[in-house]
Amino acid sequence: MLSEDDKNEIVSQISSYIAKYEKGDKGDAYGFSGHTFFSQLKDSYNKNKKIELENIAHILANISMIALIPRSRNAPLTHAITLHDRRSYSPFDLVKDDINIINYVLSLLNTSVFKSKLCETVLMLESPRRYDLVETILEGYLSHPIIDETWFSLVEPLYERSIVLSRQFGKKSAINTIEKRVEDYIRSHTPGNLGVSFSLFSLIKDFGLFYRKSKSLEEIAHIIVNHGNYSKENGDFDFAERLFFISA
């Protein structure tokens, strides 16, 4: 489809986007920053009469405006903005030729959240369903560890999506990976040094993590109570109450 030079060009540009917005200090789980990035790229290709690259950049810009709904089983991608009688780009605006281009781009990319979002688009729209893409999606979404700096902006929604997807398609190993990371993080944070532990406690409760690992669940509950006791002893009664509630 593309010359070798054009292949290298588009891969290089996508890699630049990933390095800036996905692997930087502030992650971008929803990919909206990609709309500006790829729209500017499209304009550049247009000026230089690179029609095939312009088409690819145009599709990637549009997909970047598609919102990820992490907890949805049947419609995980949708338009991000609705204004009166108008809306932003929807996955259902993509036509068959667009899907073919996305599949081509996927063949050029290494594991990343961006690649996973493209795979989710194909999985949602293409018939028969491309179940072979599920592993690739999970690999990208779980390519980021739990760290304080990017948990809320990037990792939390991706882990939520991974749990839903894993249960929907029977991918137990991904659930085990998430549970191990969650448990390791919680165990490494002592009272007075919560980090993002409270969010992880909520993740456990909301999604029923560790439901087949009663020992781990009991030990995590004990850790939560310890955090609650610390907060109570230091006069933060409201937060202590929240911790005690979530440990129950």
Say whether both 166 and 212 belong to one domain. Answer: no
Mean pLDDT of the chain: 90
Could you tell me if 28 and 104 lie in one domain? yes
Could you give the number of structural domains in the chain?
2
Q: Do residue 13 and residue 122 come from a single domain?
A: yes
User: What pLDDT band is residue 79 in, cutting at 50, 70 and 90?
Assistant: confident
Could you tell me the pLDDT band of residue 28, with boundaries at 50, 70 and 90?
A: low
Residues 178 and 64 in one domain: no
Which contiguous run of DSSP H or E holds residue 212?
none
Mean per-residue pLDDT, 51-68: 93
Over residues 212-232, the mean pLDDT reads: 90
Domain identity same for 166 and 184: no
DSSP 8-state assignment for residue 93: G
Return the sign of the alpha-carbon dihedral for residues 48, 49, 53, 56: positive
Phi-psi sector, 210: left (phi>0), alpha (psi -120 to 50), beta: left
Cα first-last separation, the chain: 57
pLDDT value, residue 239? 86
Whether pLDDT at 95 is above 90: yes
Q: SS3 for 189?
A: coil
Domain ends where: 170, 199, 225? Answer: 170
Q: Residue 200 pLDDT more than 90?
A: yes
Q: What is the pLDDT of residues 170-191, one digit of tens each?
A: 999 999 999 999 999 999 998 8
Task: Looking at the structure, tell me whether residues 34 and 97 fall in a common domain.
Answer: yes
For 213, phi and psi rounded to 5 degrees? -130, 75
Identify the domain containing residue 144 by its residue range.
1-170
Write down which residue in 136, 154, 170 finishes a domain.
170
User: Which pTM was predicted?
Assistant: 0.90
Q: Are residues 226 and 113 in the same domain?
A: no
User: Do 52 and 129 fall within a single domain?
Assistant: yes
Distances (CA, A) of 209 to 39, 201, 205, 236, 237: 40, 10, 7, 27, 27
